[in-house]
């Protein structure tokens, strides 16, 4: 995994945690993870990623649980699709 993939994977996990916390009604925890994901988003070099994932990242803000979970899955799938997931290596 390269640094960009690690940041994207971490962002996906933070978004997933925020989504689950919102769904469970833990607004404080959800806001914490959402804040961390927004900070992590600043670490991503937008020029190194595909345009569609860049659009996904631009759309991340204080959304509902379903949207955050969808963004998390889209980012996770992007990392795996591009062969950056070390678990996919032979």
Query: Per-residue pLDDT tens for 6-63?
Result: 999 999 999 999 999 999 999 999 999 999 999 999 999 888 889 999 999 988 886 7
Say if 64 falls within a structural domain: yes
Token pair of 46 as six digits? 């937008």
Within-domain flag for 23: yes
Please indicate, yes or no, if residue 86 is contained in any of the structural domains: no
Residue 47, domain member (yes or no): yes
Q: Is residue 20 part of a domain?
A: yes
- Does 61 fall in a domain? yes
Q: Residue 44: which region, alpha, beta or left (left: phi > 0; alpha: psi -120 to 50)?
A: beta
- The answer as to whether 87 is a domain residue is no
Do you know the residue count of the chain? 90
Q: Tell me how far apart the alpha carbons of residues 3 and 43 are, in angstroms, rounded to a whole number.
A: 10
Give the residue numbers spanning the domain of 50.
3-81
Residue 89 forms part of a structural domain:
no
Structurally, the chain folds into a number of domains equal to 1
Cα-based distances in Å from 23 to 19, 48, 56, 70, 71 = 6, 32, 21, 13, 15
The pLDDT value recorded for residue 32 is: 94
Using one digit for the tens of pLDDT, what is the confidence trace for 65-77?
999 999 999 999 9
C-beta separation of 74 from 56 below 8 A: yes
């Amino acid at each position: 995994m390269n640094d960009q993939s690690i940041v994207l994977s971490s962002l996906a996990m933070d978004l997933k945690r925020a989504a689950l916390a919102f769904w469970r009604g833990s607004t404080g925890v959800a806001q914490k993870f959402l804040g961390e994901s927004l900070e992590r988003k600043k670490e991503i070099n937008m020029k190194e990623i595909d345009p569609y994932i860049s659009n996904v990242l631009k759309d991340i803000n204080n959304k509902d649980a379903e949207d955050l979970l969808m963004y998390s899955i889209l980012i996770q799938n992007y990392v795996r699709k591009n062969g950056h997931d070390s678990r996919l290596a032979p």
